[in-house]
């Protein structure tokens, strides 16, 4: 194999004898900024240059330099002139510091107000706690006073009896005493002529109407006779007079009757569970529980009793 010979570089064209070599080099002596442009921009700028005139061999380098400087980008001198000075920065810093000082003042004011509100809330909480404690104490005192008044009312009625179902046919309250004497003697298995001392006897204080007859309320002088009558009324035998069935109850205060009426569902459950109970005087329900007797006198006591006995 023979060695290949590299082709010799093409000979550079010789400048014309009539052209000054120093003048021909001026087109290539451009400023440093122009030389730093990319190859593509330089080629583009070179293509935009006007062709050399055969009459004037010197190219227009000033126009090319202006076009190349315009293609470099914005005017840096203008941009630098627009930058803020130290005085501008000092004024901006002063404005920011003034606003920060105002914010600090506002925060301090809010802190003071919040501290005052918290102190007021603490004082109100203490006052509310004291008021609640005092209110509970006064509620308990009022409840005790109500029970005491109810006890006094029931003690004033301790010798009273209430008869329900007796026809309202008498002309005056005095006509009730002979009828009541006959009914009570029959209930006690005594002769009808046996005297019974009455303090008073009258109908319930409501108008006579077409409904059921008004209850008869009588007060006996003897408390033992009143208790004997109540025990006899609890017997299975019915009480009747002239063919009319009668009912005999102790005369209790309206508050006691309302209390017993409110506990009627509980007493029905106790009867269904065959749990013994009895009414406590003046107000209360005494129940026999596995833990011992339990006295219910308030709604809280009733809730505790239902929970202990697991009643529905």
268-296 pLDDT, tens digit each: 999 999 999 998 876 889 999 988 999 99
pLDDT tier, 180 (very low <50, low <70, confident <90, very high otherwise): very high
Cα→Cα distances 82→26, 75, 88, Å: 36, 11, 11
pLDDT at 71 over 50: yes
Percent of the chain scoring above 70 in pLDDT: 76
Q: What is the mean pLDDT of the chain?
A: 80
> pLDDT, tens digit, for every residue of 228-256?
999 999 887 788 888 889 999 999 999 99
C-alpha–C-alpha distance, residues 77 and 69, integer Å: 13
Burial (CB < 10 A; 0-12, 13-18, 19+), residue 113, is exposed
Confidence (pTM): 0.57
User: Average of pLDDT values for 156-179?
Assistant: 90
What mean pLDDT do residues 167-188 have? Answer: 90
Residue 53 has pLDDT above 60, yes or no: no
Looking at residue 72, its pLDDT comes to: 57
Among 7-21, 133-147, 187-201, 250-264, name the one with the lowest average pLDDT: 7-21
Residue in the block written with tokens 């006691």: 256
Class of residue 296 by CB neighbours under 10 A (exposed 0-12, middle 13-18, buried 19+): buried
**Residue range 25-45: mean pLDDT, rounded:** 47
Residue 300 confidence (pLDDT) above 90 = no
**Does pLDDT of 18 surpass 90?**
no
Report which of 258, 242, 196 is spatially closest to residue 221, judged by C-alpha positions.
196
Tokens of 21: 């070599």
Which residue did the predictor score with more confidence, 36 or 312? Answer: 312
Distances (CA, A) of 118 to 111, 122, 125, 127, 129: 10, 6, 10, 14, 16
Contact 249, 241 (CB under 8 A): no
């Amino acid at each position: 194999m023979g060695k290949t010979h590299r082709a010799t570089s093409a000979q550079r064209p010789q400048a014309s004898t009539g052209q000054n070599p120093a003048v021909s080099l001026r087109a290539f002596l451009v400023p440093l900024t122009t030389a730093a442009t990319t190859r593509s921009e330089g080629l583009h700028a070179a293509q935009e240059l006007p062709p050399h005139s055969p009459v004037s061999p010197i190219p227009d380098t000033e126009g090319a330099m202006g076009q190349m400087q315009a293609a470099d980008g914005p005017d840096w001198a203008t941009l630098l002139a627009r930058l803020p000075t130290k005085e501008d920065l000092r004024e901006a810093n002063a404005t920011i510091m003034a606003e920060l000082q105002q914010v600090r003042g506002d925060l301090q004011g809010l802190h003071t107000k919040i501290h005052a509100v918290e102190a007021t809330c603490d004082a109100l909480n203490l006052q509310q706690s004291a008021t609640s404690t005092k209110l509970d104490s006064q509620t308990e005192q009022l409840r005790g006073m109500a029970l005491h008044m109810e006890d006094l009312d029931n003690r004033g009625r301790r010798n009273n009896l209430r008869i329900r179902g007796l026809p309202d046919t008498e002309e005056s309250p005095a006509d009730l005493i002979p009828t009541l004497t006959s009914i009570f003697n029959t209930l006690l298995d005594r002769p009808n002529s046996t005297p019974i001392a009455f303090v008073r006897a009258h109908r319930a204080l409501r108008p006579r109407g077409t409904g059921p007859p008004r209850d008869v309320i009588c007060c006996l002088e003897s408390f033992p006779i009143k208790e004997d009558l109540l025990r006899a009324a609890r017997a299975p035998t019915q009480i009747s007079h002239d063919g009319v069935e009668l009912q005999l109850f102790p005369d209790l205060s309206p508050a006691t009757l309302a209390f017993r009426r409110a506990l009627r569902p509980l007493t029905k459950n106790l009867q269904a569970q065959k749990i013994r109970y009895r009414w406590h005087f003046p107000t209360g329900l005494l129940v026999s529980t596995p833990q011992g007797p339990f006295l219910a006198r308030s709604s809280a006591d009733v809730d505790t009793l239902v929970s202990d006995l697991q009643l529905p």
